[in-house]
Amino acid sequence: MASAADQMAQSINLAKFAKATDLKKRLWFTIGALIVFRLLSYVPLPGVDPTALGLLSQKTTGGVLDFFNTFSGGSLSRMSLIALGVMPYITASIVVQLATSLSPKLAAIKKEGESGRKKLNQITRYGTVGLTAIQGYFIAVGLETLGASQGVAAVIEPGMTFRIAAVISLIGGTMFLMWLGEQITSRGIGNGVSLIIMAGIVAHLPTTLINLLEGGRSGSLDPIRLIGIVVAVVALILFICFMERAQRRILIQYPKRQTQRGMQADRSHLPLKINTAGVIPPIFASSLLLMPLTISQFAGQRVAGESAWGDFIISLNQYLQHGSPVYMLLYGAGIIFFSFFYTAVVFNPEETADNLKRYGGFIPGIRPGKNTENYFDYVLTRITVIGAAYLTIICLLPEYLVSALSIPFYLGGTSLLIVVNVTMDTVTQIQSHLLAHQYGDLIKKAKLKGGRLR
């Protein structure tokens, strides 16, 4: 009986999906945009010798840029037009949001509504161009010296012409990805920038699985350890799904009103997610951490051995290797900071308390107004501590285990967190579109019946 009911519900859902033409258009647009993103990742920078790109991959293997390369879908190792991905855009967004919280002038612009949002987006775009130009210049400088000690020239004709062409190409690639993400958000399904990052991570998944299974076949990886990795990944995905759906529900009561059954009080619940910030803290923390490390990684190749400053940069890159204690400490601190910061941006206790007071709602045992605001702040702080600890454990513990146990599995907790989070968000939006389509059909039928009755 249960299986028959499930099959019937599945056929009904498929029937609804087949009729939702707008949803299908959005899905096809999203898939097409992601295909364009993947194709661009194979277009190399002008003036770069493709045979030297393998050397770049060898020099950065095991370093922090592997993390960056995963987020960009392998574009960095191939030195494509979109080698920097959307990370400069995310970094610029972080800077603008932090400045909005600190600057009264920018805070006033934010309160202007839609026009203020457009002004802040324009500032973010200008910041993206500036950050991409800085990172692109140091990448171009680093490429000119890449492989020089081995007698391999990564750049065919080094010089200022190549640097300018590389910077312009990288700016164009990043800005195009930013525009593509905005188009996916408005005309497709899900958050465009998050989907682009997820597509880059998923593109590495087949290679990761093949290497893992090859290690088990060749005997370099113990079968028990292989099974343990699979079980750990499944358990991690289930734990992420559980925590992302976990809520702290606050009881809200409204004044009594007269009904057919007498005086009754309306009650509802205000759900507060344990992880209110979602996947934003790991993305923000990694973006801020990767920007200076990208510059130092490529600049260090240029000045290595020439001065004390060059030796310092090389030492810094060694200390900040992926999985090193210093890297883990900085990354964890960034996740915790952005968990609290972004939660404060998303949920405003003062505004929520004022809205409840305006509509007559209150929390039983808590006075409306300032006391309600303090209660919201108290509860939100407590659950954010749990959410920040959860994100930190998910992102850092797998990285530590992989590096400590020398496991050849490079899909870390951050990557799994992003993939699971974005997938859940996209599925939720698809369900919302299906529900809206169903209600639209019901309204049309009701109108037709009403017209016939007249």
Q: 339-389: per-residue pLDDT in tens?
A: 998 888 888 888 888 888 888 888 888 888 888 889 999 999 999 999 999
Q: CB neighbours of 326 closer than 8 A, spacing ≥ 6?
A: 319, 320
pLDDT at position 58 is: 58
Q: 332-350: per-residue pLDDT in tens?
A: 999 999 999 888 888 888 8
Residues 312/317/323/328 CA torsion (nearest 10 deg): 60
Q: Is residue 300 scored above 60 in pLDDT?
A: no
> What are the domain boundaries of the chain?
20-453
Selected residue with higher pLDDT from 308 and 319? 319
- Write down the pTM of the prediction: 0.79
- Binning pLDDT at 50, 70 and 90, where does residue 287 land? confident
Q: Is residue 208 scored above 90 in pLDDT?
A: no
Is residue 287 within 8 A of residue 85, CB to CB? The reply is: no
CATH 1.10.3370.10 fits 20-453, yes or no: yes
Q: What percent of the chain has pLDDT over 90?
A: 16
